[in-house]
A and B are shown apart, each in its own frame.
Chain A
Amino acid sequence: MHGTRILQEADRLMTVCNSCRYCEGLCAVFPAMEMRRAFSDGDLNYLANLCHACGACYTDCQFSPPHEFNVDVPKTLATARAESYATYAWPHAFAGAFARNGLVISLVAALSVAAFIFGFAAINDRDVLYGIHTGPGAFYRLMPHNAMALLFGAAFLYAIVALVMSVRAFWRDIGEPVGMTTDAKALFQAIRDAGELRYLDGGGVGCFNEDDQPTDRRKLYHHLTFYGFVLCFAATCVGTLYHYLFAREAPYAWWDLPVVLGTLGGIGLLIGPIGLLIEKWKRDPVLVDEQRMGMDTAFIVMLFLTSITGLALLLWRETASMGPLLALHLGVVFALFITMPYGKFVHGIYRFVALVRYARERQMMGE
């Protein structure tokens, strides 16, 4: 017996699939399933996070609905996956954030933006807030650099700690001992599999989304989103290095590395999320965990807002709008950081960890 109804259903499906195995060439989920004859909660959460929701196994399955065996692996694993985020959330008191995630993220984002706007207004005189600031340190005339670094450093640190604790629980539950650093090969394999989204390809033809034609472009949009995010993060890191190592203060010229990285990343973070949202709305409900639409949408919108407010700041940083735009951008980014452990962001972490586990299992099976 399993802890939840959805894990019970996932167990039933994996039992059906394990006696068929026609899908074993499509992705990592089915070969991983074949290494087991019975499934613990942890096994099922592992398989759920290994699934990339490409939809191929649904379209290819002779037992999918309306067949009485009612085999719908993508939807079942999507639901189990979302519930696993709450299961492993740290501290557990915040697990409830996953249940009404769209609402929670919206509220946090709104409060965060409001706090920055009021904060800016409270600290700064009106002519500073709406003043035109240029040259090195322009941003820090509105908010001192140390305050900014401290606030965001603390938020980021908290997110990291919460994520590490969650992943640790997941890692243990799926049957791995703590301390995976020794296995560089599996880690490298997982980085490759995640980096190229190897399993988001419908077994080779592309993913299925609105119907049984493999016309889905989520892989492209996801690449734009993910690598956009990485570039933006790199921009922040380079900026931090500039500040502390070379005492070069933001804002930087348009040709300077942080701006180039941020702009390129920002463009990816505009197109990617829009594409993902459109594909999501087109997706056949039979493949989707509809209860989690709010969580998915909230994360996509937050990434989009991060990018658009950042780009707006870049465009109008030498005008009187800079102050309000900076408050807006910082508010969105702050909300993104502190909600990272309690929203769709975690999908990437868990899936990556599942891929590491899968690479290790393949090694152990002698492949």
Chain B
Amino acid sequence: MVDLTRRFDVLVIGGGNAALCAAISARRAGAAVLVLEGAPKFYRGGNTRHTRNMRCAHDAATEILTGPYTEEEFWQDLLLVTGGQTDEELARFMIHESKDILNWIVEQGVRWQPSLGGTLSLGRTNSFFLGGGRAMLNALYRTAEQLGVDILYDAEVIDLKIDDGMFLSAALKQPVGGRTEVRASTLVAAAGGFEANIEWLKEHWGEAADNFLIRGTPYNRGSILKMLLAKGVQEIGDPTQCHAVAIDARAPKFDGGIITRHDSVVFGVVVNKLAQRFYDEGEDIWPKRYAIWGRLVAAQPDQIAYIIFDSTVVTSFMPTLFPPIAGSTIGELAGKLELDPVALETTIADFNAAVRPGTFDHTILDDCRTEGLTPPKTHWARRIETPPYLAYPVRPGITFTYLGTRVNRQARMLMKDGKPSANMFAAGEIMAGNVLGKGYAAGIGMTIGSVFGRVAGQEAAKNARN
């Protein structure tokens, strides 16, 4: 049993990568640490459950990385994906620290594996967790427990007492035991974003948000973020934005994770419920344009769309969780999708007529394109003419949100007046907006979590001692 009457040195709210890195580093620095994870034990770890890799800079190839990835190259990649919406000082600090994280995280029990099969394109830049994100979490939890970090599950924080930027205590609500006031010298907030909070999403997306599917657990509700912002912490990041990809419409409302995604867009056409195309499916190579489709589908009526392709391309992409819906004619397929058969037949016929001959190569921006079609398909355009005709229904799948708390290099929260908080730190998705104003690059969320988690833990422990 955890003694909640004592005063802890460091209170960590959250239970993912950032939270555990903070807890471990604070404990290693000698602090008494309590972790409050709002989810039940099985669902612990927030979005970390569904991650697979981390992007770290390194100057030379390693056993698991195929070549060097310099700090400068990482910085250029970050600039590219964020369009410059990043805090350069924090970003460069994170990139520099990421080099050491590559080894530090292994010392915490996490194991790497060489990139295999479907992930070779990331083999130089990203390090993969052996067994995936939950295996990584399990290792961090084991280490934290062995070090003597106290951990509570189903531990929902319903209020924070903060006085002029100084954390005093947290009100904890547990299924058994009711409400308890938890006191600690410092706070590390690592409780993620608000992607599972449909009401909050609706504030920016309106009723459309009802049709969003959430890729992570239902516990990422952003309640800690909301409390902090309400109590004077400076916000950062676009509150209206979230990372959204197109995922299978048959996926569960929450926690479908990685396996509901579709990477088949470039091999066919995408139509909305009126059986009309609405965007250039061949704009850029996967995974570069992977993330735009969630938002594109979100803008369509009823937030649903259908990837239509034919039997010649079925083996061009990874096998899918849900089988494609099939029809021996376009009309029959339309019937099964409850689309207007005539409209779909017209759309496909128009598309087929516009396809120009070319040499298909899905690894480059090839010369297979349409002519005289609006919107065009600028690469990989091939006629859809070999039955059976196939379709995946897709909806927006929300991965994470960008709104967060402003921090400095110590991961210390900054208050609205620009002053650093006396004893409050933040790490992970809750402060990712400092580095990642928009866009995404594979594995960067985990880098933010581990780097700022470790810093937050060290600084919080130091703060608690003084």
> Is the A/B pair a real complex?
yes
Would you call A41 an interface residue if the criterion is a C-beta within 8 Å of the partner chain's C-beta atoms? no
The stretch of B11-19, B197-205, B317-325, B346-354 that contacts the partner chain:
B317-325
Q: For B142, give its contact among A15, A34, A61, A213 (CB under 8 Å).
A: A213
**How would residues 251 to 285 of chain B score, 1 for a CB under 8 Å from any chain A CB and 0 otherwise?**
01001011100000000000000000000000000
- Give A68 to B43 CA distance when docked, in angstroms: 12
Q: For A60, give its contact among B138, B142, B258, B318 (CB under 8 Å).
A: B138
**How would residues 65 to 78 of chain A score, 1 for a CB under 8 Å from any chain B CB and 0 otherwise?**
01111000000000
Cβ-defined contact, B321 with A23, below 8 A: no
- Given known pairs A19-B321, A60-B132, the reply for A24 and B142 (CB within 8 Å) is no
A9 to chain B, nearest CB (A): 15
Cβ-defined contact, A25 with B320, below 8 A: no
Cβ-defined contact, B257 with A63, below 8 A: yes
Would you call A16 an interface residue if the criterion is a C-beta within 8 Å of the partner chain's C-beta atoms? yes
Main secondary structure of the interface of A (DSSP, over half): loop
**How would residues 129 to 156 of chain B score, 1 for a CB under 8 Å from any chain A CB and 0 otherwise?**
1111111001000100000000000000
Cβ-defined contact, B135 with A24, below 8 A: no
Q: For B50, give its contact among A16, A62, A212 (CB under 8 Å).
A: A62
Residues of B within 8 A of A15 (CB): 319, 321
Would you call A20 an interface residue if the criterion is a C-beta within 8 Å of the partner chain's C-beta atoms? yes
Closest to B112 in A: A25
Residues of B within 8 A of A56 (CB): 131, 135
Q: Which parts of A148-205 form the interface with B (CB within 8 Å)?
A: 203-205
Closest to B48 in A: A62
Closest to A66 in B: B42
Cβ-defined contact, A23 with B133, below 8 A: no
Cβ-defined contact, B319 with A22, below 8 A: no
Cβ-defined contact, B131 with A19, below 8 A: no
Cβ-defined contact, A23 with B252, below 8 A: no
Cβ-defined contact, B319 with A18, below 8 A: yes
Q: For B131, give its contact among A16, A23, A34, A67 (CB under 8 Å).
A: A23
Residues of B within 8 A of A302 (CB): none
A133 to chain B, nearest CB (A): 59
Residues of B within 8 A of A61 (CB): 132, 134
Would you call B178 an interface residue if the criterion is a C-beta within 8 Å of the partner chain's C-beta atoms? no
- Given known pairs A20-B259, A25-B116, A62-B49, the reply for A205 and B111 (CB within 8 Å) is yes
Residues of A within 8 A of B321 (CB): 15-16, 19
Cβ-defined contact, A204 with B255, below 8 A: no
Q: Which parts of B234-258 form the interface with A (CB within 8 Å)?
A: 252, 255, 257-258
A366 to chain B, nearest CB (A): 13
B66 to chain A, nearest CB (A): 16
- Give A20 to B257 CA distance when docked, in angstroms: 9
Cβ-defined contact, B132 with A23, below 8 A: yes
Interface size on A, residues (CB 8 A): 30
- Give A147 to B456 CA distance when docked, in angstroms: 79
Cβ-defined contact, A24 with B116, below 8 A: yes
B260 to chain A, nearest CB (A): 8
Residues of A within 8 A of B133 (CB): 22, 62
Residues of B within 8 A of A137 (CB): none
Would you call B52 an interface residue if the criterion is a C-beta within 8 Å of the partner chain's C-beta atoms? yes
Closest to A36 in B: B319
B122 to chain A, nearest CB (A): 13
Would you call B315 an interface residue if the criterion is a C-beta within 8 Å of the partner chain's C-beta atoms? yes
Cβ-defined contact, A59 with B135, below 8 A: yes
Would you call A5 an interface residue if the criterion is a C-beta within 8 Å of the partner chain's C-beta atoms? no
Would you call B175 an interface residue if the criterion is a C-beta within 8 Å of the partner chain's C-beta atoms? no
Cβ-defined contact, A37 with B131, below 8 A: no
Residues of A within 8 A of B252 (CB): 68
Cβ-defined contact, B130 with A62, below 8 A: no
Would you call A131 an interface residue if the criterion is a C-beta within 8 Å of the partner chain's C-beta atoms? no
B450 to chain A, nearest CB (A): 18
Cβ-defined contact, A62 with B128, below 8 A: no
Q: For A19, give its contact among B50, B111, B318 (CB under 8 Å).
A: B318
Residues of A within 8 A of B320 (CB): 19
B153 to chain A, nearest CB (A): 13
Q: Which parts of B137-193 form the interface with A (CB within 8 Å)?
A: 138, 142
Residues of B within 8 A of A19 (CB): 258-259, 318-321
- Give A69 to B250 CA distance when docked, in angstroms: 13
Q: For A34, give its contact among B49, B50, B117, B259 (CB under 8 Å).
A: B117
Would you call B113 an interface residue if the criterion is a C-beta within 8 Å of the partner chain's C-beta atoms? yes
Residues of B within 8 A of A16 (CB): 259, 321
Residues of A within 8 A of B131 (CB): 22-23, 25-26, 56-57, 60, 203
B198 to chain A, nearest CB (A): 19
Closest to A68 in B: B252
Would you call B118 an interface residue if the criterion is a C-beta within 8 Å of the partner chain's C-beta atoms? yes
Q: Which parts of B25-51 form the interface with A (CB within 8 Å)?
A: 42, 49-50
Would you call A31 an interface residue if the criterion is a C-beta within 8 Å of the partner chain's C-beta atoms? yes
Would you call A21 an interface residue if the criterion is a C-beta within 8 Å of the partner chain's C-beta atoms? yes
Cβ-defined contact, A31 with B116, below 8 A: yes
Cβ-defined contact, A62 with B319, below 8 A: no
A43 to chain B, nearest CB (A): 13
Cβ-defined contact, B258 with A20, below 8 A: yes
- Give A365 to B118 CA distance when docked, in angstroms: 15
Q: For B138, give its contact among A23, A34, A37, A59 (CB under 8 Å).
A: A59
Cβ-defined contact, B116 with A60, below 8 A: no
Residues of A within 8 A of B114 (CB): 25
Cβ-defined contact, A67 with B255, below 8 A: yes
**How would residues 97 to 138 of chain B score, 1 for a CB under 8 Å from any chain A CB and 0 otherwise?**
000000000000001011011100000000011111111001
Closest to B318 in A: A19
Cβ-defined contact, B130 with A204, below 8 A: yes
- Give A100 to B27 CA distance when docked, in angstroms: 53
Residues of B within 8 A of A67 (CB): 42, 255
- Give A62 to B50 CA distance when docked, in angstroms: 7
Cβ-defined contact, A25 with B128, below 8 A: yes
- Give A23 to B132 CA distance when docked, in angstroms: 7
Closest to A34 in B: B117
**How would residues 205 to 243 of chain A score, 1 for a CB under 8 Å from any chain B CB and 0 otherwise?**
100000011000000000000000000000000000000
Cβ-defined contact, A203 with B259, below 8 A: no
Residues of A within 8 A of B319 (CB): 15, 18-19, 37
Residue contacts A-B, CB under 8 angstroms, 15 given = A16-B321, A19-B258, A19-B259, A20-B259, A21-B318, A22-B131, A22-B258, A24-B113, A24-B116, A25-B116, A26-B131, A37-B315, A37-B319, A61-B134, A63-B257
Q: With A31-B117, A59-B135, A62-B133 given, can you name 4 additional A-B contacts, CB distance below 8 Å?
A: A15-B321, A21-B116, A203-B111, A212-B138
List the 9 shortest-distance A-B pairs measured between CB atoms, nearest first.
A22-B132, A25-B113, A60-B131, A60-B135, A19-B259, A19-B321, A18-B319, A62-B49, A20-B259
